[in-house]
């Protein structure tokens, strides 16, 4: 009897966790900072670290291609 109860609780937790994970991933999507300044909503795809200004921008593909060369680019994994 105790064993059956345990299994039931476990399944409930697994079923309840799945939609929450998706919700979290949605919230993590960042908009491209440069496009945002122009009133556009593009999903940022890359973290671009500017060595000169020592700042990180989150940019879409098009904006990443137009940054200066002195940067470190890493893909944002959603």
For binding to Zn ion (CB under 5 A), which residues are involved? 32, 34-35, 42, 60, 63
φ, ψ at 30 (rounded to 5°): -105, 150
d(CA 25, CA 5): 31
Which residue's CB is nearer to Zn ion, number 10 or number 68? 68
> At closest approach, how far in Å is the CB of 77 from Zn ion?
18
Which residue's CB is nearer to Zn ion, number 6 or number 73? 73
> At closest approach, how far in Å is the CB of 54 from Zn ion?
21
């Amino acid at each position: 009897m105790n064993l059956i109860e345990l299994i039931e609780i476990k399944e409930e937790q697994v079923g309840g966790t799945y939609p929450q994970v998706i919700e979290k991933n949605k919230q993590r999507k960042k908009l491209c900072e440069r496009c945002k300044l122009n009133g556009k909503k593009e999903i940022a795809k890359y973290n671009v670290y500017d060595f000169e200004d020592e700042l990180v921008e989150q940019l879409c593909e098009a904006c990443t291609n137009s940054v200066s060369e002195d940067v470190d680019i890493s893909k944002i994994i959603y």
